[in-house]
């Protein structure tokens, strides 16, 4: 066997997403070369893509001690392995361990771009961690900025355009969470006498939404294949007055482009609920409910008077006629949130809620429940808190028809400190009230903002005891649950959450204000 040639074949199959065949060949390479680390790492990648993340943990525990950093190739392999360890721990909700792994990956990388991506991974994950202080976030921001040393920012420059040029920077110009909140930025809703819209798209795989925006937005720029420096020059040459980054520290972001400071004023927000931590951004888009402890921010906050997002729903399915408690004879609580957001404190609160509401059930739905390993992992975790698993239903991920499953839920329970966003909007739109907990950090207050704007602010509370009490109280009023089932969608449509015209006017006023302020500094 030509080991290198056979390994290359396995790698090619992996990149072509032919995982089963790739795994067969990798097994042969491992048997022929048991001391060669590359095929062992490739197997980790393959199993991760197959959804077998839990199986990769013991594999990584065996592999990582073998990896040295004596050569650039060894360091790159170790960086990739720690990235895998971070992503698996994040998936399992072991967020502190994930943050450490991502930071180790960054420290081993010789590529500043990759190192920035790893610290972005760490910052995104830290949003779900229970005990991350403002100082902890500041430390991660400082770590990120270490890897911007190769970037020389442009000097600040202002222009005298007849219309304000607003550029939106994102990897999410496709159907995504970000687009469900920023849809109206790109559909000719800005006052065309005062604003000109540009889009800088980092989309790798365009979809129907991408193609729609390409047709609607006259100044469309694809930057996926451009370097950070080239993309920044493109924005600079377009003489953009306001650059709005929609992604923050989410996947495939182009924060390094913004670090060149190509625009007169730079704003972040919508897609990431916490600060970027970067001085290249002047402002962060927020609202009166989300704005909390500003020590978490390096940017100034733009505080909109209602909601900092505008929800666009693709949902055509009507809500169920009545809450399921009326046919079941018991209340079903539920969460369709990413289970990585479910902390020990939230699990303890859910246990207290089930204990206080006789015969109640808990319905959970997420990718982690799509295989036996995931269900077993969560089951063991929940049993350690004393859950009666006979009262807990775990459903795997489904792309289609999952919305109909809100018909099986009476009350949705939000996560904390990383609250639900689109998941909360979908639950409300399907007639299911949501109980949410908020803290002092911006990202912890998103549930408060959504519920307050929808007219349900009393379902957002400031302590775990209130969270348990509010859920238990709501569960006792089946008549109210029936009324909400019939009326929540109408309430949402009439609320600031879906008032696109009002939202755009507020954003326009904010853009004019911050640009004028920047000119006067």
331-371 confidence digits (pLDDT tens): 999 999 999 999 999 999 999 999 999 999 999 999 999 99
SS3 393: strand
Query: Which CATH number is 415's domain given?
Result: 3.40.50.2000
Would you say residue 1 has pLDDT above 80?
no
Q: What is the pLDDT of residue 472?
A: 98
Per-residue burial over 469-501, b if 16 or more Cβ lie within 10 Å, else e, is bbbbebbeeeeebbebbeebbebbeebbbbbee
Claim to verify: residue 108 and residue 216 sit in the same structural domain:
no
Q: Which residues pair with 184 in a beta bridge?
A: none
Average pLDDT over residues 67-79: 84
Read off φ and ψ for residue 493, nearest 5 degrees: -60, -30
Residue 283 lies in a domain: yes
Residue 315 lies in a domain: no
Q: What is the pLDDT of residue 316?
A: 84
Claim to verify: residue 52 and residue 201 sit in the same structural domain:
no
Measured distance CA(5)–CA(11) in Å, rounded = 10
Residue 106 lies in a domain: yes
Residue 334 sits in which domain range?
Answer: 325-498
Residue 123 lies in a domain: yes
Claim to verify: residue 336 and residue 361 sit in the same structural domain:
yes
Claim to verify: residue 478 and residue 516 sit in the same structural domain:
no
Would you say residue 399 has pLDDT above 80?
no
Measured distance CA(14)–CA(10) in Å, rounded = 6
For CA atoms 210, 214, 220, 224, the dihedral sign is positive
Claim to verify: residue 303 and residue 426 sit in the same structural domain:
no
Please, which pLDDT band fits residue 401 given cuts at 50, 70 and 90?
Answer: confident
Q: What is the pLDDT of residue 154?
A: 98
Q: Give per-residue pLDDT as tens, 108-147.
A: 999 999 999 999 999 999 999 998 999 999 999 999 999 9
User: Is pLDDT larger for residue 400 or for residue 103?
Assistant: 103
Instruction: Tell if the pTM clears 0.75, that is, is over it.
Output: yes
Query: Which CATH number is 113's domain given?
Result: 1.25.40.10
Dihedral (Cα; 467, 450, 478, 334), 10-degree rounding: -70
Q: Transcribe 476-516 into DSSP letters.
A: T-HHHHHHHHHHHHHHHHTSGGG-HHHHHHHHHHHHHHHHH
Cα separations in angstroms, 350 against 58, 147, 276, 335, 423: 30, 41, 32, 10, 18
Least confident of 69-83, 96-110, 471-485: 69-83
Average pLDDT over residues 165-176: 94
Read off φ and ψ for residue 276, nearest 5 degrees: -75, -25
Per DSSP, helices labelled H in 337-445 are 344-356, 372-383, 422-429
Q: Which token pair is 90?
A: 């994040």
Q: Transcribe 11-69 into DSSP letters.
A: HHHHHTT-HHHHHHHHHHHHHH-TT-SHHHHHHHHHHHHTT-HHHHHHHHHHHGGG---
């Amino acid at each position: 066997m030509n080991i290198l040639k056979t390994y290359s074949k396995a790698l090619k199959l992996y990149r072509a997403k032919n995982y089963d065949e790739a795994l067969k060949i990798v097994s042969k390479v491992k048997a022929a070369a048991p001391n060669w680390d590359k095929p062992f790492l490739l197997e980790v990648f393959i199993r991760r893509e197959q959804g077998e993340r839990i199986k990769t943990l013991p594999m990584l525990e065996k592999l990582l001690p073998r990896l040295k950093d004596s050569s650039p190739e060894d360091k790159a392999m170790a960086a990739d392995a720690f990235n895998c360890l971070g992503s698996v721990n994040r998936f399992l909700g072991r967020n502190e361990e994930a943050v450490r792994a991502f930071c180790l990956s960054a420290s081993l990388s010789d590529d500043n771009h990759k190192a920035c991506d790893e610290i972005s991974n760490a910052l995104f994950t830290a949003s779900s961690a229970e005990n991350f202080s403002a100082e902890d976030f500041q430390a991660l921001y400082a770590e990120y900025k270490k890897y911007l040393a190769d970037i020389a920012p442009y000097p600040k420059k202002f222009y005298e355009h007849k219309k304000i040029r607003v550029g939106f920077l994102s990897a999410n110009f496709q159907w995504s969470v970000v687009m469900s909140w920023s849809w109206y930025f790109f559909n000719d809703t800005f006052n065309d006498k005062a604003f000109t819209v540009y889009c800088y798209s980092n989309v790798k795989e365009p979809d129907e939404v991408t193609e729609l925006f390409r047709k609607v937005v006259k100044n469309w720029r694809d930057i996926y294949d451009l370097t950070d420096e080239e993309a920044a020059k493109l924005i600079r040459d377009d003489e953009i007055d306001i650059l709005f980054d929609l992604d923050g520290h989410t996947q495939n972001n182009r924060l390094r482009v913004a670090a060149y400071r190509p625009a007169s004023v730079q704003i972040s927000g919508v897609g990431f609920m916490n600060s970027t931590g970067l001085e290249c951004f002047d402002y962060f888009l927020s609202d009166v409910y989300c704005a909390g402890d500003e020590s978490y921010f390096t940017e100034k906050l733009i505080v909109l008077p209602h909601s900092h997002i505008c929800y666009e729903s693709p949902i055509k399915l009507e809500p169920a006629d009545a809450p399921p408690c009326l046919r079941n004879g018991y209340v079903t609580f539920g969460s369709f949130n990413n289970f990585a957001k479910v902390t020990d404190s939230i699990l303890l609160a859910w246990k207290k809620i089930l204990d206080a509401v006789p015969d109640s059930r808990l319905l959970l739905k997420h990718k982690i429940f799509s295989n036996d390993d995931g269900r077993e992992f969560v089951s063991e975790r929940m049993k350690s808190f004393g859950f009666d698993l006979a009262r807990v239903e775990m459903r795997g991920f489904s792309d289609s028809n999952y919305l109909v499953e809100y018909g099986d839920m009476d009350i949705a329970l939000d996560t904390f400190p990383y609250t639900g966003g689109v998941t909360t909007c979908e639950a409300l739109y399907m007639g299911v009230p949501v109980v949410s907990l908020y803290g002092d950090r911006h990202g912890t207050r998103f549930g408060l903002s959504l519920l307050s704007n929808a007219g349900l602010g009393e379902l957002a509370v400031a302590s775990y005891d209130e969270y348990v009490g509010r859920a238990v109280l709501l569960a006792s009023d089946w008549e109210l649950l029936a009324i909400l089932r019939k009326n929540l969608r109408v309430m949402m449509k009439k609320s600031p959450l879906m008032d696109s015209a009002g939202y755009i006017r507020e954003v326009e006023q904010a853009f004019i204000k911050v640009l004028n302020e920047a000119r006067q500094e």
